[in-house]
Amino acid sequence: MLGSFIITQNGANMQGNFITPVTLKVEKTNTGERILATGSEEFFLVMTVQKSRPSAVKIIGKGLDAIGQIGY
């Protein structure tokens, strides 16, 4: 994975795992607003939202043809 983040608020968390693009910049804005991701290519992002620990994410392959397995 190229990058990941976890945001926790009010007993829940959101996890994001970027699979592509090759160049990536992720910024978290003020709470309750948005996550800003910029890059020079298309995005492949696996997101999960849960009240417990985030599920494991396994990526098989590369780029936009990759397969994301959640909770394997």
Identify whether the C-beta of residue 26 lies closer than 8 Å to the C-beta of residue 50: no
Residue given tokens 């994410």 in the structure block? 57
Q: Does pLDDT of 3 surpass 80?
A: no
Instruction: Kindly report the backbone phi and psi dihedral angles of residue 64, in degrees, each rounded to the nearest multiple of 5, phi listed first.
Output: -70, -10
pTM for this model (two decimals) = 0.69
pLDDT digits over 5-64, tens only? 888 888 899 998 888 766 777 777 776 667 777 777 778 888 899 998 888 888 898 888
H-helix or E-strand containing 71? none
Q: Given this model, what pLDDT does residue 50 score? A: 92
- Residue 12 is predicted with a pLDDT of 92
- Return the pLDDT at 1: 59
